[in-house]
Structure 1
Amino acid sequence: MSIRTILSADHAELERLCADMIALVDRPAPGDIAGIAALRWQLARRITAHLALEDEYIYRPAADGTLPRLGAAAAAVKDELGELYAAYQAHIARWPGYRLTADWATFRAEATALLARLQARIRREDAELYPLLPE
């Protein structure tokens, strides 16, 4: 199985997790708080594992010239990487269960915006970066 196939499968799983989280927060009032907590940690673990794969098979080879086709595209996409992941981690820290039930509307808006950014990032990698990977 190629790294492109593995990374694409990871993206499909990340998209599924994002959709599941959006479904949980797309409610006028808090519902399954335990489910939200579990899902956001599952999403954080999957993102961490995925980023490690991308670093090993995309960003390092692009930087060291092993995969020169990835160079400029990888650099452009990687620039967003640290900030987006830091924003996700900060979001989790900022919203413990008791706080998100107390201010559901703000949590919901922030979570939805962050998940949309993550989904856009996934689509951008799929469109601009992954086609440059060897099959």
Structure 2
Amino acid sequence: MTPVERLFLDQKSLQSAIEALHAICTSPEPPLRESLAQIRWTFARTLMRHLQLKDRVVYARLRNHPDPLVQATGERFRREAFELYARFEQHSERWTADAVAADWQTYRAMAAQMIRMLNDRVAREEAELLPHLDSAPDLPVLRTEQDHNWAAAGWKMRAWFGVDREEAIPPAAISPPSEARAAPARRGLRPRPVLPLPPSPPRSPRRV
């Protein structure tokens, strides 16, 4: 499988994760706490993996495209990705497992808004960004200085969603407040060490 084929396959996985989150948020009653935590974490994990793949397969190639206009398009989408992910992080931190349980209806509305935003992004990528890969140089999939550490908030998200307790988060995985709140454009300028994605949680649903 080529890197581009893997990218499009991963894009389908992301769409499936979005659909699973949307489906559970259509219910007027909250689902099992553990079920929602698993679906939210699966979505977040898939999104982080996909953004990393975009860095190495899409943006790296378009950065070296012979057409300056295509280079500019790739850079615009790359910067937009920082803004989108920052909004997703803020949404995730705001809507912890306890916050969702306390106000399911508002969470549903906010999650639907976020899902529409992501679907719009996917549609624009397919129309304006990904077609340029056909004329881009075929570069090896390597980590570069331009790559962003999308997985840096992974452990925190697991705690926010209710997958892990706060005390279970490795101290090294917690960023200082100033870094966690840095502006998206600034955060994209200096790469941080890549943390491995946490393992998927065990499935043991219980009702709350």
| TM-score > 0.5 by shorter chain | yes
- Displacement of 1:60: 2.7
TM-score under structure 2 length normalisation:
0.59
**Larger RCO: Structure 1 or Structure 2 (Cα < 8 Å, ≥ 6 residues apart)?**
1
Where structure 1 has 5 or more consecutive residues not aligned to the other structure, the ranges are none
- After superposition, the C-alpha distances for 1:80-125 in whole angstroms (9 at most, x for unaligned) are 1011111112211111112111111111111111011111111111
Higher CA-based Rg: 2
Query: Aligned in 2, Cα 1:76/1:32: closer, same or farther, shift over 3 Å?
Result: same
Query: After the TM superposition, which parts of structure 1 deviate over 2 Å for at least 4 consecutive aligned residues?
Result: 1-4, 60-63, 67-70
Aligned length: 133
Partner of 2:116: 116
TM-score under structure 1 length normalisation:
0.88
Query: Aligned in 2, Cα 1:68/1:53: closer, same or farther, shift over 3 Å?
Result: farther
Partner of 2:77: 77
CA distance in 1, matches of 2:134, 2:37: 37
Partner of 2:134: 134
Query: Which segment drifts farther, 119-128 or 17-26?
Result: 119-128
Query: Which segment drifts farther, 72-81 or 42-51?
Result: 72-81
Identity fraction in percent: 32
Greater per-residue helix proportion: 1
One of 66, 69, 91 as aligned partner of 1:68: 66
- After superposition, the C-alpha distances for 1:27-49 in whole angstroms (9 at most, x for unaligned) are 11212332221111111111111
Where structure 2 has 5 or more consecutive residues not aligned to the other structure, the ranges are 136-208
* RMSD over equivalenced CA pairs, Å: 1.7
